[in-house]
Structure 1
Amino acid sequence: MRNPASPPRSLRTRLVLIATVLATCAVLLCQTAGLSVLRSWLTDQVDDRLTGFRPPTRVYEDIADGRLRTPESDDALPSDYRVYFYDSDGRLMDDSLGRTDDRGPRLPARTNELSLRNGDPATVEARDGSASWRVVADSGTDRMRAVVALPLDTVDGATTKLLWFSAFLGVVVAAGVALLGNAAVRLGLRPLSRVEGTAQRITGGDLNLRVPDTDPATEVGRLGQALNTMLDRLRTALHHTAASERQMRRFMADAGHELRTPLTAIQGFAELLHDDPRMPAERRTEAHALIAANANRMSRLVDDLFLLAKLGHAPAPHPEPVDLLSLAADSITSTAVRHPERAITLEPLHTGSADTSDQELDVVEAVGDADQLAQVVTNLLANACAHTPATARIHVRVGTIGTSPAAGGVDRPGRTSATPALPPGTTAAVIEVADTGPGLTPADARHVFDRFYRAAPAYSDEPGSGLGLAIASAIAEAHQGRLELDTRPTAGCTFRVLLPAH
């Protein structure tokens, strides 16, 4: 439950309340200062009148001789002055000059109780408690003293009226500031209200909206820019999450489909052997061979899937300098053992010069895992042997280039890759596997690096898993490099592995 004493939660209400309090305090402070100045000025006027009036010496003599004649009418001293006398014994006399009523100042009965210094005005209360009096003491002959008094009715009246006027003005100012301030704050916060409305609509599911106010000169504009940046990143993250989820579902479906085929074959042949114990030895041997072949195929597929998952979440292990020339030569040797009829050559990489006769093979080093890079080259050679006729030539080229549309490493029409382009002009170590086969159509080239994508192996009876090029691309990306393809129908395929040069 909300505490009633807690401040209001609305920013608009807080701003209006703060402005009202500040304005009211400012008005009251100014009025208080004016009131103090006015009362001080009026009191000074009374003091000037008091200090400018002194009872004549003759009055003291008349009091001493007992000849003081007290006026019988109130207009005998036509002013507000009151004069009181203390005799030579220090007693307050009953006779006084001025109006004879009970509104006079409250004075002590003895002089020794009178805490007044001659010529210094002071304020005392009235006898009836209605108002204050300003008094000043004076000394006469024979130790007599007189007290001259003037009422502060005019001063109190003026200050009281000003006080009520200040209170009324403070109330008016508070009400005006509350009303006008509410309208002004509402107008000033209109851009923030639009931001709030947009945020609520985005919360409702409309993620394509953007905050309209983006003026960098204002606080709300800078807030709008920050929110738009956050929304862009949120949309990008959501799109990536959705794409990753779709890719994962498709990957799991494809993996299940690929594993189902050998698993079904193994299950079928195992049931056949179990149901027919009298099967001829020749057929039993054939069934065992088929079970072993499908189990081997399923094992390779699981190994490839594990390698892909590992490459997707870990950097290249055991980074060390790798001689790409020796690595390519070893891969060609192992491929030639499996495909002795193939013509595979090892050549220097063409650098784009017109005369290539003087180019020689040289050591090219890169940093990475030698076993994984060897698997990339082996996969590329196996792919070339599976999808080209026996008469097609396969060229393995090793060298160093500066990335460009002509040399490689950056995107251009007709070039395909599953990894981002390298910065133009980057020095890269390259292993290139080119063949003179039939090439690929643009439609096939767009999917050649997809997992489980298989073009028909028209020139090989050994079925592939559809993961070889995906694994090679993932290894190249894990090494901060790139695997790309240049191809067109009837012009063969050129797979190019680019790695940061050592």
Structure 2
Amino acid sequence: MRTRLVLISTVLATVAVLASQAAGLAVMRSWLTGQIDHRLTRFGPPPRSLTDPARGSAPQGPERFAPEDALPSDYRVYFYGADGRLRPDSLGNGSSSPLLPAAASALTLRDGRPTTVPAGRGTSDWRVIARTGPDGLRVVVALPLDTVEGATSKLLWVGIGIGAAAAVGVGLLGSAAVRLGLRPLDRMERTALRITGGEADLSVTDTDPRTETGRLGIAFNTMLDQVRAALHRKDASEQRLRRFMADAGHELRTPLTSIQGFAELLVAHPRTPAARRREAHELIARNAERMSRLVDDLFLLAKLGYAPEAHRETVDLLSLAADGVAAAVVAHPGRDVRLAPLAGGGPDGSRSQDSLDVVETLGDPHQLAQVVANLLANACVHTPPGARVEVRVGSVRTGPATGGTDRAGRSSATGPLPPGVPACVVEIADDGPGLTPEAAQQVFERFYRGPATVPGGPEPRSGLGLSIASTIAEAHHGRLELDTRPGSGSVFRLLLPRSVGTEPAGPA
């Protein structure tokens, strides 16, 4: 690039110098020629030279002209007589002369208009002008162009010399200037080489927005930041994938080990009592069911992440919550699980329901039912036996008090919703011990599970329930979030876009 820049600048500078010299040469030649034309038009031959000797009115021989009739400098004057022939008695001396025809009929000159003619003798052209005298006499006055040609020739050689000097000077100085101007690019090149060599935290220092290289440096640093962010996301994704695979292997290893152990026991001891055999069969079936649930959950997560958007239909969240509460009461007898309206939750009175009303949204009813079931199972498994679980259904406008946006003590696996938009809400609240801030940040991760707090109760599941629920909420353009503090219970809140029915009253 340096060579091209220097070559282009040298060629342009040389062409500019030569063009200016050519223009100056043309102006100089035109001006000098104009000066000669001016001399020709103002010059008049001696009056006595206009007398035709054929009429006997002029003296002959060397005595014809007086000294005052002598011509100045290098003028030449030629006469064509009345017979149209060139007379031999021209005025002026010198070894050179213009090329003029012998007869006036061949003379193509117009009176009073200077014209250039070639030399008859000598090397330089001549500038001539014709006039018509008395009795048909024609007079041709000539001046040589040797001064014009000499001046233009010298100017031409001077121009060529200046052009050559300019080419050399521009080549040398241009090379130094280009090298100096491209120094920021050299620093960028060295920085890029160091980055490719492993120094990934480097950045370009030339970032002056007023210069092209500075703007290039800003764009380069922006690109580096984006690449670093992409690499960090890639590393984090790989770490999550490794952790996920390790957790999945661990979750599968436990039931597989149990199944293998009990199967080997039955094979190695065929005479095992019937009660022990029945117990082994039950444990094998239970662990097989656990593996089946885990595989189904993994398949559902993959399907939610890569499958196209499912068919949407109108879903009554109140009926869906009522069915979930009924199923939870059957699955967890003795637990206080109730259905309640979403009322009076915010200081600005933005929650709209004080009674159980139908709340409808668009979505997949089976997936939303699974979200409610997972949240209820999570609340029943991870709270003490005497803790109350309450399912609340209603509609709100999103905000810090009503949900959907971030605030202190609130966590979610997805980003916040726009504030002030209408949303349908299903809350699963309990008055259990709550979660620490560290646990609240991890609760939506795959395979995370807290200890079961029900003595002798069901074993905690695979730790995919909340991750599945959060993924389903995100697929419905909603959000699953958790409000909790140690000793204050937990509130899992499912917010979905309110696309059918009336909007809730009141500001967000």
**Alpha carbons of structure 1 residues 264 and 69: separation in structure 2 relative to 1, 3 Å:** farther
**For residues 204 and 64 of structure 1, what CA distance do their matches in structure 2 show?**
108
Stretch deviating more after TM superposition (36-45 or 24-33)? 24-33
Pairing partner for 1:310 from 303, 309, 317? 303
TM-superposed CA distance for 1:278, in Å, is 5.4
Answer with 437-446 or 291-300: which moved more. Answer: 437-446
Q: CA deviation at 1:217?
A: 4.2
Match of 1:428 among 408, 417, 423: 423
Whole-angstrom distance in 1 between the partners of 2:459 and 2:72 = 137
In structure 1, the residue matched to 2:473 is 476
What amino acid does structure 2 have at the position aligned with 1:425?
A: G
Identity over aligned pairs, percent: 62
Partner of 1:34: 24
Counterpart residue identity of residue 299, structure 1: S
Letter of the structure 2 residue corresponding to residue 170 of structure 1: G
Q: Select 1:48's aligned residue among 38, 47, 50.
A: 38
| Residues 124, 145 of structure 2: 8 Å contact kept | yes
Partner Cα separation in structure 2 for residue 96 and residue 185 of structure 1 = 66
TM-score, normalised via structure 2 length: 0.84
Task: Note closer, same or farther for the CA distance 1:364–1:100 as it changes in structure 2 (3 Å cut).
Answer: closer
Is the alpha carbon distance of 1:77 and 1:381 closer, same or farther for their aligned partners in structure 2, counting shifts above 3 Å? closer
1:361 to partner: Cα distance: 1.8
Q: Which residue of 1 aligns with 2:259?
A: 266
2:415 counterpart SS class? coil
State the partner residue of 1:223. 216
Shift of 1:83: 3.0
- Asked if the contact 2:449/2:460 (under 8 Å) is kept, the reply is no
1:407 aligns to 2:399 (yes or no): no
The superposition leaves residues 375-420 of structure 1 with CA deviations (integer Å, 9 ceiling, x where unpaired) of 1111111112222233222111222233344433333333332222
Residue 503 of structure 2 is matched in structure 1 by none
Contact 1:351 1:401 in 2 (8 A): no
User: Is the Cα–Cα contact under 8 Å of residues 52 and 81 in structure 2 kept in the other structure?
Assistant: no
Partner amino acid, structure 2, of 1:464: R
TM-score (normalised: structure 1): 0.85
Deviation at 1:274, TM superposition (A): 4.5
Cα deviation code 1:209-250 (max 9, x no counterpart): 344344444444443333333333222222212211211121
Following superposition, the deviation at residue 465 of structure 1 comes to 0.9
CA distance, structure 2, for counterparts of residue 42 and residue 344 of structure 1 = 115
Structure 1 residue 434: Cα displacement: 1.9
For residue 385 of structure 1, what is the amino acid of its counterpart? C
Distance in 1 (CA, whole Å) between partners of 2:21 and 2:195 is 51
User: What is the match of residue 163 of structure 1?
Assistant: 156
**What residue is the counterpart of 1:96 in the other structure?**
90
1:372 matched to 2:362? The reply is no
Deviations 1:82-103 (A, max 9, x none): 23344555444555332253x2
Residue 137 of structure 1, CA deviation:
3.2
2:319 to 314, 326, 340: 326
Quickly say closer, same or farther: Cα 1:46–1:492, change in 2 above 3 A: closer
Change (3 A) 1:96 1:71: farther
1:45 Cα deviation from its structure 2 partner: 2.6
More divergent stretch after superposition (313-322 vs 290-299): 313-322
Gaps of 5+ in 2: 500-508
Equivalent residue, structure 1, for 2:484: 487
> How far, CA to CA, are the matches of 1:118 and 1:71 in structure 2?
30
Letter in 2 for 1:259: L
Which residue does the alignment assign to 1:6?
A: none
For 1:137, the equivalent position in structure 2 comes to: 130
Q: CA 1:277–1:353 in structure 2 vs 1: closer, same or farther (change >3 Å)?
A: closer
Aligned positions, number: 489
2: CA distance, partners of 1:219 / 1:429: 53
Letter of the structure 1 residue corresponding to residue 31 of structure 2: W
